[in-house]
Structure 1
Amino acid sequence: MSVRKSKGVRHQFTPAMYFWQHTRSHVWCESQEERWEVLWLDYSGQAERLWAQPLAIAFGHGSQLSGDSHIPDLLAQFTDGSFGLFDVRPAERIDDLARVQFGETATICGRLGWRYEVLTGHDNRATANLDYLSASRHDRCLPARETESLILEMAVGGRPRGELCRIVSPDCPPLACAWIDNMAWRRLLNIDLAAVFSSETVYTTAESGSERRAE
């Protein structure tokens, strides 16, 4: 049962709903910080399903917050079937009350056998680059198997993005951009997300690339 109170993000550049491709549904986001963390969780590949503010925790006797309640920001079901809760709060906004609240929530999760983590943010440039890559995460940007094999072969040792595009699609290099970025999103190709992103960005074959495609 939904327990959220906020109407969510209202900004022309920040949709309140994030498309979660694993379940082909949307995850509701309350803030821009929350949307960025959902983006990183999606990229990690560790969470299979994600729900926004799905439950409320009522603190009982013996808790420092007895009589109070807390609504965690996200509930995740991981690829191994386990569950976990997340709270999103930039590090500079975590005060003493929040530390107690998060600590009590962690204790309850521990008793349930759930994971718990407070997500405090990422490097701004890395997040912006990941947001760019996410535009190619959809199935429509998947390269054909033969094309993917060629890209993996050409990226051994590392090649600039522009060069890879010219090799894969010599008649129309921009056509290959979505394929290459899709593979980077799936972590078949490694890139330095914290560096300035351009046609000179080096893409390198990830060690686990072939295994991930086989899955």
Structure 2
Amino acid sequence: MEAEEFWLEYTDARGEVHGGPLEVMWPTLFEAAGQVRAFPSYRGQRNFPGWYWAATCSELVGYESRAELGHLMRLDAEPDVVAVASQPFRLSWRYGGRGRRIRHTPDYFVRRRDGTAVVLDVRPDERIEPEDAAKFAATAAACPRVGWGYERLGVLDPVSVANLRWLSGYRHPRVRREPVADALRAVFSEPLGLLAGARAVGDPLAVLPVLYHLLWHHELTTELRTERLSAASLVRLVPAAVKGVGWDVDASAAAVAG
């Protein structure tokens, strides 16, 4: 049966709760709203909650698992993403206009540079119960009604996560030094090994942080999906025409785009 009467609730920055039909509430800037649900914390819990400082929006964004943290880092490194919000709203609906209302809180709301939005749920494939699958399917049906995309993501591959974790340490704008960045872009206008290129610019201890910063921001690129970053990694300049192309989602992620 098809879900009906999608109702959306969110919490604003002052902590006040607002609600209404999805078709009425969708223009809200959910990237600026508060979390509609707090993360539980208790002794012996098996998940991995925390806060991640996103360079994209200079805000702390929450996560509830290592799988979520991996995708959060990936989103923060995407040139096309300008804001990410955790637990952005709660959807509820009925089937056939009868029975109890079913509720679901998506994991993330993502705003793209062109103003479009995508709603994300992160759940490893092996942890999806039938009730979860039904909620994801209903959310995937709701989002296109208001022009949003929707993706249900699995676990990023370990190599991508390791590279993201390393490069994320250099994501802050304070790492960038423009004279060094200019020199690195010139050196890597032709493909060159990572350490060799850094040495061509100057002392690697001073140059490598800027190089990693440029890799994070996709101004330079190397193979990060299948190979761990190393001194021998072949680095090249990203042409201006493709700088908006970011990190690929691994094959274990299921997506429904709107």
Settle same-fold status: TM greater than 0.5: yes
Q: 1:189 aligns with which of 203, 209, 220?
A: 220
Provide the TM-score with structure 1 as the length reference. Answer: 0.86
1:89 counterpart = 2:108: no
Equivalent residue runs for 1:30-41 within 5 Å: 30-41=64-75
Distance 1:5 1:151, change over 3 A: closer
Query: Which residue of structure 2 aligns with residue 163 of structure 1?
Result: 196
Write out aligned runs for 1:28-107 (5 A).
28-62=62-96, 67-107=101-141
Question: Does 2:210 match 1:176?
Answer: no
CA distance in 2 between partners of 1:158 and 1:65 (Å): 61
* Equivalence for 2:61: 27
Match of 1:198 in 2: 230
Distance in 1 between residues matched to 2:99 and 2:181, nearest whole Å: 53
Letter in 2 for 1:196: R
Stretches of structure 2 that go unaligned for 5 or more consecutive residues are: 1-10, 12-34, 245-258
Once structures 1 and 2 are overlaid, which stretch shifts more, 51-60 or 202-211? 202-211
1:148 pairs with 2:181: yes
Structure 1 portions without partners, runs of 5+: none
- 3-state secondary structure, aligned to 1:157: coil
Q: What corresponds to 1:113 in structure 2?
A: 147
Of the two structures, which has the highest relative contact order with CA contacts closer than 8 Å and spacing of 6 or more?
A: 2
Q: Aligned partner of 2:199: which letter?
A: R
Report the alpha carbon displacement of residue 211 of structure 1 after superposing the two structures with TM: 6.8
CA distance in 2, matches of 1:130, 1:181: 10
Percent of aligned pairs with the same residue? 25
CA distance in 1, matches of 2:75, 2:205: 28
Greater helix content: 1
Q: Give the match's secondary structure for 2:77.
A: helix
Letter in 2 for 1:197: L
TM-score (norm 2): 0.73
Q: Give 3-state SS (helix, strand or coil) of 2:166's partner.
A: helix
Count of aligned positions? 207
State the one-letter code of the partner of 2:160.
A
Kindly report the root-mean-square deviation, in angstroms, between the aligned alpha carbons of the 2 structures. Answer: 2.5
Higher strand content, 1 or 2: 2
- For the 8 Å contact 1:190–1:205, the answer to whether it is kept is yes
